[in-house]
Structure 1
Amino acid sequence: MTNAVVLNNVTHKDLRVVRRHSPALNEPLNMTLALPFEFRSLQHEYPLVFIRNDTTHTYQAVALLGFEQQENLYLNDQGWDASYIPLMIERQPFLIGMQPAADNSAAHPVLLIDMDSPKVSEHDGEPLFLPHGGHSEYLQQVTDILATIRERESETQVFYDLLARYELLEPFFLDVTLDNQTKHRLTGYYTINEERLSTLPKEAIAELHQQNVLPLLYYVLASHSNFRSLIDRKQAASRG
């Protein structure tokens, strides 16, 4: 469970965060949310697919990290084995929350920290605050990441709105048999319907291009070449 509290330089003046990644410090995940504006970087390292929220009937992009629940094939005792780490991993253990204003005006964003995260310490890692109370360089970097995510929410929403309008997603599954004959099936995911995309009218393609969505679709499709390396990672893990 997340124990998220508003970060402040009085209560948390001695807090530190361990920046390194390891199985002991990172939450075990087989996927992480992928933000459209980072697709270009993600597609070099991870397979990108979509998951569906059956309650809201909406979709979200994810970078696959493994084949089984709580399996991260990019994480080992030496760190994170990729040249680019997804922003939703890099921002941990911080997140953005909304806090009501004292005068009952509109809520405003605040920086939260998960106090139950194993990355949080009073002895190890990067300090969050300077001796006089200002943000450390590390905390400023995290704040910038979260600010970017928030500032680009409308751009992200446009991406998902256009996916829905033009019905560009289709179910996706993948069967994998390892050298030891262990079988795995990835199911419940969605990807770009290439046939549908190729037959869209010119007006639709023009809109996708104008909204900078068209390249994102091709980044997702290009990322599927990373299934081969994900399988290779699984093969190596199965050999111990």
Structure 2
Amino acid sequence: MKIFGILDLSTLDYPKKCSSVVFMSGCNMRCGYCHNYLQMKKNTYDLPPYKVYKSIDLTFSEAVVVSGGEPTVQPQDLKEFCRIVKREENLPIKLDTNGSNVDTVKELIQEGLIDYLALDVKCAFEKYWDIAQYDGGKIESNVRKLLKICKEEGVFLECRTTYVPGKMDRGDIYTIVKTVKGCDLYALQQFDSEHAWKEEYRRLREPTLEELLELGRIAKEYIPNVVVRSKEGIVYL
């Protein structure tokens, strides 16, 4: 299981729970604003899933988050790790994913291994190649499939977008929220220019909290539960 970090305790990654976070290496997208890409390239190491589990201090954790990178590019190790956590701790598990591997996520959900799915919806689907170097048409189809699967299986679904001024506008948000309007929570996140791995993105300005709140109000027209996450704090609308 290739990972590039473990965070023993987080109060941010699993809403309303203290969690431990495992960062799995590898990703099939290349988002210019990614803040983990360089760290992932430098610090990846390979351990058996059980050893990863034993490396986590779960003393104060109420949940486990599997993030990345994109965890589903290591499907077998991801499944085995989640099985171990459920068997040994019976803790809720949240999976962060870009939505590219529906079959893997579906298998995890149907096996009862995932309690919370956080699905990154990067931008309007026609812009996916520019922003993430990935097929937006495939992602649009996958998002719809995951909405259906989560609803049928009773898994909490958060859809989230990191808003990048200069690359996105309110039209992107309209497109996204109309597509994901069946989700349990929609999150707008502040782009962090300082830690973007592409120089082009480091030159872009960050959105203000007021801009994010305005976009959040647009999202609220379609989705009852909306949250804005910024350096200034977390605001539920």
TM-score by length of 2: 0.27
The structure having more radius of gyration, on CA atoms, is 1
* Structure with more of its chain in helix, by fraction: 2
TM-score by length of 1: 0.27
